């Protein structure tokens, strides 16, 4: 409609779908992460997808030091060493064979967390929709004003009980490096960032460990 390119941040949506389409397939370009805490990991690195041959050609050039086609060690552009090693690729391909198992475990974690925490007034839990498949990369929740504790205080008390948490990412609009580009305030993203946190969600998390986490949350909020 407006002639704009859509770039998808698909870093954490391996296997997710929206209205029947795979996340990462809806934009002109999408970027997936293979960092160590992602559903599929190669330790570091990632992949970029595109349906545009021009972008594909340019990305293949830039990812490999921008060697000019047909003339090695000749550079008309500044390139980067973003090459994935064969060992990393083998690790990633091996995990892809088990991705359905990974996604099933993540789904179980998400649904079980929701079942165990849904009785707590003041915690805003993830919302599910029939038209979207949530892969629960992390179990994310938010603290509302009626909880009686701030997000940071809740996380601190959970830490005292041996439960690690992680706060939401800080919005780009709040980052010092982007300050000169800010034209107006972004209260919605700022509010979500200030109130949100993640509970342990790793693929190795057991039912017993999850039960401990949920009991710790209940214990903190009933103290």
What domains can be seen in the chain, in order of their start residue? 7-96 (3.40.640.10), 99-222 (3.90.1150.10)
Inter-CA distances, 206 with 156, 209, 210, 222, Å: 23, 5, 6, 24
**Beta strand 17-18 pairing with 21-22:** antiparallel
Q: What is the pLDDT of residue 150?
A: 96
Q: Which of 1-5, 26-30, 147-151 has the lowest mean pLDDT?
A: 1-5
> In the predicted model, what is the mean pLDDT of the chain?
95
Which H or E element spans position 196? Answer: strand 196-199
Confidence of residue 89 (pLDDT cuts 50, 70, 90): very high
pLDDT over 80 (residue 215): yes
**pLDDT per residue over 101-117, tens digit each?**
999 999 999 999 999 99
Q: What is the pLDDT of residue 192?
A: 97
Question: How far apart, in Å, do the first and last CA atoms of the chain sit?
Answer: 54
When pLDDT is averaged across residues 120-139 and rounded to a whole number, the result is 96
pLDDT over 80 (residue 223): no
Handedness of CA 177, 186, 188, 48 (dihedral sign): negative
Confidence of residue 207 (pLDDT cuts 50, 70, 90): very high
When pLDDT is averaged across residues 161-170 and rounded to a whole number, the result is 97
């Amino acid at each position: 409609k407006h002639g704009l390119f859509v770039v998808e941040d698909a870093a954490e949506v391996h296997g997710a779908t929206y209205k029947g389409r795979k996340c990462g397939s809806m934009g002109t370009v999408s970027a997936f992460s293979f960092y160590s805490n992602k559903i599929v990991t190669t330790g570091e690195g990632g992949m970029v997808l595109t349906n545009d041959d021009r972008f594909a050609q340019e990305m293949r050039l830039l990812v490999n030091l921008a060697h000019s086609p047909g003339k090695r060690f000749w550079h008309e552009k500044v390139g980067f060493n973003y090459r994935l090693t064969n060992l990393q690729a083998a690790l990633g391909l091996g995990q892809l064979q088990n991705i359905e198992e990974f996604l099933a475990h993540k789904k179980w974690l998400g649904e079980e967390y929701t079942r165990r925490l849904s009785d707590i007034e003041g915690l805003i839990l993830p919302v599910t929709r029939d038209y979207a498949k949530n892969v629960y990369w992390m179990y994310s929740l938010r603290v509302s004003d009626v909880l009686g504790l701030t997000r940071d205080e809740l996380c601190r008390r959970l830490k005292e009980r041996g439960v690690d948490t992680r706060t939401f990412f800080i919005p780009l609009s709040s980052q010092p490096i982007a300050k000169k580009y800010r034209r107006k305030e972004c209260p919605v993203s700022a509010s979500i960032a200030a109130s949100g946190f993640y509970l342990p969600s790793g693929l190795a998390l057991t039912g017993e460990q999850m039960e401990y986490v949920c009991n710790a949350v209940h214990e903190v909020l009933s103290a």
